[in-house]
Chains A and B, each alone.
Chain A
């Protein structure tokens, strides 16, 4: 396997993970116009919830059918979305719609800090492990390298998530309503659209995607406090490269970051941390709004 192919495979695996982590962030921004810093915490809570659910699944005799642990992981993400989505959107964020974007950033940062403590309160500081789902899918041998089947499952999950979000937005009635709300929420409301419900639905979808990212990551790491901090930084880089609010942009941003990072690790390891920001800087130099920034219709 030559170097280029290794870089491509490594880049795709990382990009798949990045996309799942970032797509919810860009969706929430697109619909609610909120830069949700708490996205990192929702990711971490998804990881904790998945670790707990998978642990419970095996404790209740799941060894007989270990593949059920994947269902437990997805259910964990659904549960996080059902509980935290309405709580945060209806309970807090709705009071800040239409206010300065900076205020929303501060509010979600506060939520981030609170959720970090809530996690410690619930799960403590000790790590949680759920290795089983990581090794269930066997090895994939590509040339001299071994990959874990799970890595490719994450790529598949990213493709499914991307297609599902894109098709929902562009090929369904609900999606058309959401796009109308994104375009002009006041006009949509006048036309009879229940904008509140759309906001709630979009935030719950964003929460689910963040939690799903965490849930899918949980089996390959030790789930420890502080998990969400690094994730939110890299997720922001991806959505800024792609253009805030753009799902295809998040996909392209994730691919660019994933592949350039892989190239850096293999060819120039000392530049690994720098490369993400380098890519971002180059993109913003030529496209200050990101690659796929939505066109702003001028209102009269």
Chain B
């Protein structure tokens, strides 16, 4: 009898605890919800390395004093950072539900997330509805802020137009002869948009170049034999691809085995993240970008940010036994931006934990330094970032047993991103008006 009474009391207590909901984060803790791919095709390329980098940075910030100024202060404005991680796999409908969970049940102070452009388009209206401060850290579609406007949503990475304008400028700056080119891109929004951006930029810089063929194999196709035959037959001077992950790895394995890289110049819009897996199977002489001055290009850059970049780079290498590719760089720039915004808001409000409104006000038009360069919230009324970019050429260093980027060209943010108030496609069609190149 006594036993059952105790059991009943325990059950009631447990139930009451559940009904009370999760404990509200204390004022000495800043709780972030982080959404990124932990499973599925984008996990290995983007999601997992991004959060590996994020986890590392959160640990370093919570410890305090591990990073050079202005990031040497503990946590976010002295508050300890607590992260709740959610897997992005499962589609936009599921992510909207997860987002509501994070905001309403977990009561996070900010959300940092989304690799998929589909998720980045689905979340902002919900974020504004819930007045939840949200940073889109990775996705590339220009449409988020070109087709919409949001109060509480910010994107701390440049959108994808920059990748292909930089690639086209790289060809031009190296006087690369492009009488013709072809494309092999994944058949969904990312691949279609990337090809449209590249052809738009090429039309301005190489108006006489002929488009030989545009191939759009299915996402996750794996087999590219027929496409490679078509590219070999068409003999374009250059082959453009924005493929990523397993699709890019499969394409490179099959294309190099058949000598495509010897007959055409390969130009990859987002190619750096397959280097740790492919190593010397990735051929020399490929032009590639990393969607920002990320990865090898950041490591090679030096300059004022060298200390910050090297600190993150070395810590990542020690922790994960590989070098950080583009995804952790984008996570770092988001978290450094959030830290800067939190501390700016706290300086304005007398040092208390900022509300979503205060955070949004602080983030609008903000600039801060990240290992990937100076990030400026310069587009979409201060909600969309621009950043510098870099393109380089692969070269295997047999002595060191590692891939290097050589002939790296760095582009200022205002050289390869459209100006405020202008849509990317219009900017490309009008010949990059307002571009500020060195």
Contact with B along A187-224 (1 / 0, CB 8 A): 00000000000000000000000000000010011101
Identity of the chain A residue whose Cβ is nearest the Cβ of B260 in the assembled complex: A146
Verify B253–A265 contact, CB threshold 8 A: no
Contacts of B250 in A (CB 8 A): 220-222
Number of interface residues of A (CB under 8 A): 41
Contacts of B253 in A (CB 8 A): 129, 131, 134, 220-222
Instruction: Confirm or deny: A145 has a beta carbon within 8 angstroms of a beta carbon on chain B.
Output: yes
Verify B246–A131 contact, CB threshold 8 A: no
Verify A262–B226 contact, CB threshold 8 A: yes
Instruction: Confirm or deny: B384 has a beta carbon within 8 angstroms of a beta carbon on chain A.
Output: no
Query: Which positions 214-238 of chain B face chain A at CB distance < 8 Å?
Result: 214-218, 220-223, 225-227, 229-230, 232-233
Verify B230–A265 contact, CB threshold 8 A: yes
Contact with A along B5-21 (1 / 0, CB 8 A): 00000000000000000
Contact with B along A135-149 (1 / 0, CB 8 A): 100010000111110
Contacts of B40 in A (CB 8 A): 125, 225-226
Q: Which bracket fits the contact residues of B? A: 35 or more
Instruction: Confirm or deny: A230 has a beta carbon within 8 angstroms of a beta carbon on chain B.
Output: yes
Verify A131–B281 contact, CB threshold 8 A: yes
Instruction: Confirm or deny: B334 has a beta carbon within 8 angstroms of a beta carbon on chain A.
Output: no
Task: Kindly state the separation between the CA atoms of A221 and B278 in the bound complex, as whole angstroms.
Answer: 11
Contacts of A144 in B (CB 8 A): 232-233
Verify A125–B226 contact, CB threshold 8 A: no
Contact with B along A264-300 (1 / 0, CB 8 A): 0110011011000000000000000000000000000
Instruction: Confirm or deny: A94 has a beta carbon within 8 angstroms of a beta carbon on chain B.
Output: no
Verify B257–A270 contact, CB threshold 8 A: no
Instruction: Confirm or deny: A33 has a beta carbon within 8 angstroms of a beta carbon on chain B.
Output: no
**Residues A222 and B225 in contact in the complex (CB < 8 Å), given A120-B39, A146-B258:** no
Instruction: Confirm or deny: A127 has a beta carbon within 8 angstroms of a beta carbon on chain B.
Output: yes
Identity of the chain B residue whose Cβ is nearest the Cβ of A116 in the assembled complex: B39
Verify A145–B246 contact, CB threshold 8 A: no
Verify A129–B277 contact, CB threshold 8 A: yes
Identity of the chain A residue whose Cβ is nearest the Cβ of B41 in the assembled complex: A226
Verify B229–A145 contact, CB threshold 8 A: yes
Contacts of A14 in B (CB 8 A): 223, 225-226
- A6, A126, A217, A229: which contacts B233 (Cβ < 8 A)? A6
Instruction: Confirm or deny: A227 has a beta carbon within 8 angstroms of a beta carbon on chain B.
Output: yes
Task: Kindly state the separation between the CA atoms of A135 and B281 in the bound complex, as whole angstroms.
Answer: 12
Query: Which positions 142-167 of chain A face chain B at CB distance < 8 Å?
Result: 144-148, 151
Instruction: Confirm or deny: B245 has a beta carbon within 8 angstroms of a beta carbon on chain A.
Output: yes
Task: Kindly state the separation between the CA atoms of A120 and B232 in the bound complex, as whole angstroms.
Answer: 36
- B43, B221, B257: which contacts A230 (Cβ < 8 A)? B221
Task: Kindly state the separation between the CA atoms of A135 and B25 in the bound complex, as whole angstroms.
Answer: 56
Instruction: Confirm or deny: A13 has a beta carbon within 8 angstroms of a beta carbon on chain B.
Output: yes
Task: Kindly state the separation between the CA atoms of A266 and B250 in the bound complex, as whole angstroms.
Answer: 20
Task: Kindly state the separation between the CA atoms of A188 and B226 in the bound complex, as whole angstroms.
Answer: 46
Verify B277–A146 contact, CB threshold 8 A: no
For residue B100, give the distance in angstroms from its CB to the closest CB of chain A.
25
Instruction: Confirm or deny: B265 has a beta carbon within 8 angstroms of a beta carbon on chain A.
Output: no
List 20 contacting pairs A-B, 8 Å CB cutoff, sorted by A. Answer: A6-B229, A11-B226, A14-B223, A14-B225, A126-B44, A126-B277, A129-B249, A139-B259, A144-B232, A145-B258, A147-B225, A148-B254, A224-B245, A225-B40, A227-B246, A265-B229, A266-B226, A269-B230, A270-B216, A272-B218
Residues of A within 8 A of B (CB): 3, 6, 9-11, 13-14, 17, 120, 125-127, 129, 131, 134-135, 139, 144-148, 151, 217, 220-222, 224-227, 229-230, 261-262, 265-266, 269-270, 272-273
